[in-house]
Amino acid sequence: MNKKSLSKQIYDARWCYVFVLPCLILTGMFVIYPIGMSWYFSLLDWSGFTKEAKFIGLQNYYEAVNDQFFWDAFIRSFIFMFGTVPVKIVLGFIIAVFLNNQVLKLAPFFRTVIFMPVVTAIAIIGIVMTFVFSPFNGPANKFLMSTNLTSAPIDFLGNPDTVLPTVMGVYVWKWLGITMMYWLAALQTVPQDVYDAAKIDGAEGYRLWIHIILPIVLPFAIVIILVEAVGALNVFPLIETMTAGGPFFSSEVMEIYIFRTAFVTDSGTMPRLGYACAAGVFWGVAVLFITVLQGLWMRRTRRI
Amino acid sequence: MKKKKDLKISRRTVMKGALAAGAMMSAGSIPSKLFAGEFNIPDPLKPLPTTGGNMRWIDSGDMKGVFWKKLFPEYAASRGITIEYDGLPWKEINKIVPIAIRNGTVHDVFQLPLGMDPGVAVSEGWVQPWDDYIENLDEWLANFPAGVYLPGVNQFNGKTYGLCLTANKRTGTCLLYSEKYMSEAGYDPQAGRMTYSEIRDAAKKITKRGNGQYYGWIIGGNQVNRWEDVVHTFGQVAGAHGGRGGFTNRHINFQNGKFQIASDQYMEAVELLLQLKSDGSAFPGVMSMNAPQARALMPQGAAGMIFQGPWCIGVWGRDAPEWKYGIASEPVPDGKKAQPLYIAEGGSNTLWLSANSTMGPFAGDLIRFMGTEQGQIYWAQTVGAADPAVNPEAVAKAGLTGPSAQALAMFAENLLVGPNPIVRNKDVGVVAAKSRVPDPSLALVIQGLYTGQLKGVEAQLKDCNQRYEDALDQAVEDARADGANVTRDDWVFPNWDINSNYGASKYSEL
């Protein structure tokens, strides 16, 4: 049998390429080009809005890795990720297990309630939460005071010790619904006859979940963890609206750091788009590294 | 059945009437049209394009926005154009304008981001001169007080690029207080400038009476520049004589050209803020609110005192007309006499015309009108002390009363024109463009001290001062490398008499 030439193969699949083309163009414009430009800008000493842009090689990278505020923000981003992802994964799974039970009549209602924050604008949530956690007449403090859990109001967002956990809590609440949906989708791939067979074999309760269901949904778990981890590293709008990284950098994660250095802030710091790009590229590579690790983990799990 | 016609008089109508009546008593030249809330917009001095168009305008809003929103529809209708106005906080302007300049979509008329050297805007070609769009420009400029239009500030290469309708003779850290709470605490700030001890004591007493329902003092601590503004101005009042404005002016003692962030006066001001906190007098949650949020809580009775600017007057007058408050000068350390505050020459809220704009004839026509005495009276009557009109005669004729008039009188008494290095040497502008405010800035250092994340006021301020010194040295070095003829001596003004205005004759002595 004659093997078709490459040009013939392309010609035969021409309609596929035609349909893929718009997507390729858009990806090129809005993903590839910005990534490429940010790599280039990261090599410049440039404020971002003047003509004068001086090529300085890797100096921005050198400065970034020697900046304590950069590393503080870098570490804080991972604290945020490790503090929220496990909670979301476990909570989302537990809720999904309950709501996956066909016997539960109110399951659609609870699903809607839990999913509602997901479809609410994040900036609105951020602003509303500043009122919710206000130490002056904020509902959170009113509740704590009225139940005698605290004797004085807590400045959740103004205290460096409480600000990050508070924002993390809001983040978990805001996005828990989507994690739940991922788990529900995963659980619904488990065929009913598997449940039935397991029950016939005497597997019930936690044994059913640990030994039968969990191994089936484990590959999904890896994907969910990957998606959640990357999501937890992209929390700019929530933190910007709730704390803007304050007080005194206490909630400054990498995206806020990049934003602060890329634009003039109200602390009077001059913008440095070149430097911000270097920090962004460094951060992007770090996130990519995590993604690759998780991808490898997923492949390994699938083989098992 | 005949329907009964209701006679409805809105509060706004009554206020307009009262405003107009007051204005007419004090200024016989104000047209009768004002009573109906309209402006007497004169015909253009020369024919304007008949093609119409949409003029986009962006500035820092507040009371300016209130005025523009009244004037723009009427002006637009009279000239057959439309006007799109965006009044945004500085934080937004700082983000939006540079991006818009970069992608060629900046508004026709705009304000430059804070801290940006106007010389950069001109040399980069972002703006165009107003000269072609304002008829008889020289004659028009002559109506403004001396020192508003200066080479290197808003005039470059013999042309006028920046137009100022407002004066910079104001401070943003006045003592604004609830009359009720302050009186209950046994203090009357109108009787004389309060001392730091009195502020603390008053705050304690108000907090005690509040019993958890209200507190002595509030600040928008999430908006970090508020910390710096308070310490900077209080430090000056206490005797740390220096400049105001951007990095190359602010906190610098022009007697020796050095930063004075670690001065005793600055330290005392920081200590006052920390003491208000440790006394329990600070409103809980100040770290999670910005300045407008803190300001909005005052009429709600949440706190007794706030250090803010005269822009509160207009906002409170509109949102809480029944609430009784007072305005007074910044406090002074115990046993010390208040020293003058210094402003740089020039106006404020400088308006720039985009290089790409085709609406220059309309923008010029409008601004020319606003620069006339009549336009300035209109401005003063709406904006009051929030952004004082630049023409003092127009302000006098505007018939302002109450806190606005008091604030203006206070500023006239407390403020002097200080030296401005860029007026002395335009190459200082190159230094400004090269400057990078060190990280963490003074504003953040004070915030960190307040939250307890940084320890030791003296050590922190000394470190911060050194960082600022190093940053300015570096900027001067970078500017010189680019050919600028500038040294740190340009910041030293040996002939500066701290008790008088620093004018053109003083510069010529150098």
Q: Give the closest-approach CA distance of A273 to chain B in angstroms.
A: 11
For residues B204-212, average pLDDT: 95
A269/B288 CB distance under 8 A = no
- Whether A116 shows a pLDDT value over 60: the answer reads yes
Residue A134 lies inside a defined structural domain of this protein: yes
- H/E element holding B177? strand B174-178
Tens of pLDDT, residue by residue over B96-124, are: 888 888 888 999 999 998 767 788 888 88
- A23 to chain B, minimum CA–CA distance in Å? 24
| Across B254-275, average pLDDT | 97
Contact assessment for residue B243 and residue B254, using Cβ atoms and an 8 Å cutoff: yes
Question: Which residue of B288, B442, B444, B463 is the best one to mutate when testing the A interface, meaning the one whose CB has the most A CBs within 10 A?
Answer: B288
Residues A79-85, mean pLDDT to the nearest whole number: 96
What is residue A81's three-state secondary structure? Answer: helix
Is A250 within 8 Å of B441 when comparing Cβ atoms? Answer: no
Confidence of residue B7 (pLDDT cuts 50, 70, 90): very low
pLDDT of A109 above 90: no
Q: What mean pLDDT is predicted for residues B255-271?
A: 97
Contact flag A247-B453 (C-beta cutoff 8 Å): yes
Using a CB-CB cut-off of 8 Å, the residues of chain B touching A250 are: 451, 453
The total of other beta-carbon atoms located within 10 Å of residue A288's CB is 11
In chain A, which residues touch B (CB < 8 A)?
Answer: 48-51, 67, 69, 130, 133-136, 138, 153, 155-160, 243-244, 246-250, 263-272
* Pairwise CA distance, residues A101 & A176, whole Å: 19
Beta strands in B322-451 (DSSP E): 325-328, 341-343, 347-348, 351-354, 415-417
- Predicted confidence (pLDDT) per residue in A276-301, tens digit: 999 999 999 998 888 888 778 877 77
If one compares B282 and B1, the residue with the highest pLDDT of the two is B282
Encoded tokens for B320: 């809480």
Give the model's confidence band at A219: pLDDT under 50 very low, under 70 low, under 90 confident, else very high: confident
Judge whether A16 lies within some domain. no
Question: What gap in Å lies between CA A202 and CA B163, rounded to an integer?
Answer: 85
Looking at the partner chain, which of A49, A267, A270 has a beta carbon nearest the beta carbon of B444? A267
Element (H, E) at A93: helix A68-99
CA distances to A245, B182, B304, B441 from B209, rounded to whole Å, are 34, 11, 11, 37
pLDDT in tens, A22-45: 999 999 999 999 999 999 999 999
Identify whether A287 is part of a domain.
yes
A11 belongs to a structural domain:
no
Model pLDDT, residue B90 = 79
The DSSP code for B359 is -
CB burial of residue B111 (10 Å; 0-12, 13-18, 19+): buried
- For A149, the domain range is 72-303
Helix (H) or strand (E) holding B58: strand B54-59
The per-residue DSSP string of A133-198 comes to T-TTT-HHHHHHHHTTS-SS---TTTSTTTHHHHHHHHHHHHHHHHHHHHHHHHHTTS-HHHHHHH
pLDDT in tens, B474-504: 999 999 998 999 999 999 999 999 999 888 8
Residue B457's nearest CA partner among B267, B261, B226, B229 is B267
**E runs forming strands in chain A:** 44-45, 54-55
Q: Do B153 and B422 contact (CB within 8 A), yes or no?
A: yes
Strands (E), B309-466: 325-328, 341-343, 347-348, 351-354, 415-417
Q: Report, in angstroms and rounded to the nearest whole number, the Rg of chain A calculated over CA atoms.
A: 24
* Distance between CA atoms of residues B327 and B175, nearest Å: 6
Q: Is the dihedral of CA A69, A70, A72, A76 positive or negative?
A: positive
pLDDT top residue among B189 and A265: B189
- List chain A residues with CB under 8 Å of B223: 266
| pLDDT of A64 above 80 | yes
pLDDT at B6: 42
Cβ within 8 Å, pair A268-B436: no
Can you tell me the ipTM of this complex? 0.80
Structural domain contains residue A23: no
Nearest to B441 among A160, A250, A268 (CB): A268
pLDDT band per the 50, 70, 90 thresholds, residue A211? confident
Range in A228-232, B118-122, B231-235, B451-455 the model is least confident about: B118-122
Which has more pLDDT, A135 or B358? B358
Mean pLDDT, chain B, as a whole number? 88
Q: Give the whole-angstrom CA distance, residue B40 versus residue B31.
A: 7
Token pair, residue B8, equals: 């409805």
Quote the CA–CA distance of A194 and A187 in Å, as a whole number: 12
pLDDT at B37 over 50: no
- Position A268 scores a pLDDT of 56
Residue A294 has a pLDDT of 78
Residue A1 lies in a domain: no
Confidence class for position A264, pLDDT limits 50, 70, 90: low
Q: Does some domain include residue A35?
A: no
| Strand B415-417 versus strand B341-343 pairing type | parallel
Domain containing residue A185: CATH number: 1.10.3720.10
Structure tokens at B312: 């509160």
Q: A84: which 2 tokens?
A: 């929220």
Chain B, nearest residue to A270 by Cα: B436
What is the distance in angstroms between the Cα of B450 and the nearest Cα belonging to chain A?
9
Q: Per-residue pLDDT averaged across B148-159, rounded?
A: 88
User: pLDDT-based confidence at B148, cuts 50/70/90?
Assistant: confident
- Asked if A158 lies within 8 A of B433 by C-beta distance, the reply is no
Please, which pLDDT band fits residue A180 given cuts at 50, 70 and 90?
very high
- The lowest-confidence range among A140-154, A258-272, B76-90, B341-355 is A258-272
DSSP annotation string for B427-447: THHHHHHH----SS-HHHHHH
- Amino acid A187 reads L
pLDDT exceeds cutoff 50 at B176 = yes
CA dist., res. B314 & res. B457, Å (int):
36
Spatial CA neighbour of B194 closest among B216, B222, B225, B170: B216
pLDDT-derived band at B32, boundaries 50, 70, 90: very low
Task: Looking at the complex, report in whole angstroms how far the Cα of residue A269 sits from the nearest Cα belonging to chain B.
Answer: 5
Each residue's pLDDT tens digit, B51-99: 889 999 999 888 899 899 999 999 999 999 999 999 988 778 888 888 8
Query: What is the predicted pLDDT for the residue at B2?
Result: 41
Contact residues, chain A, for B432 at CB < 8 Å: none
Per-residue pLDDT, B161? 96
Helix (H, G, I), strand (E, B) or coil at B134: coil
Number of domains chain A contains? 1
- Taking the C-alpha atoms of residue B483 and residue B239, their distance in angstroms, rounded to an integer, is 36
A15 in a domain, yes or no? no
Largest Cα–Cα separation, chain A: 85
Question: Do A136 and B283 count as a contact with CB atoms less than 8 A apart?
Answer: yes
pLDDT of residue B28: 36
Residue A267 is nearest to which of B120, B289, B443, comparing CB atoms? B443
Residue B440, preceding peptide bond in cis (omega within 30° of 0): yes
Find the closest chain B residue to A51 by CA distance.
B124
Q: Where is average pLDDT lowest: B106-110, B399-403, B451-455?
A: B399-403
Give B454's contacts in chain A (Cβ within 8 Å). 248
Domains assigned to chain B: 23-163+346-417 (3.40.190.10), 170-344+422-510 (3.40.190.10)
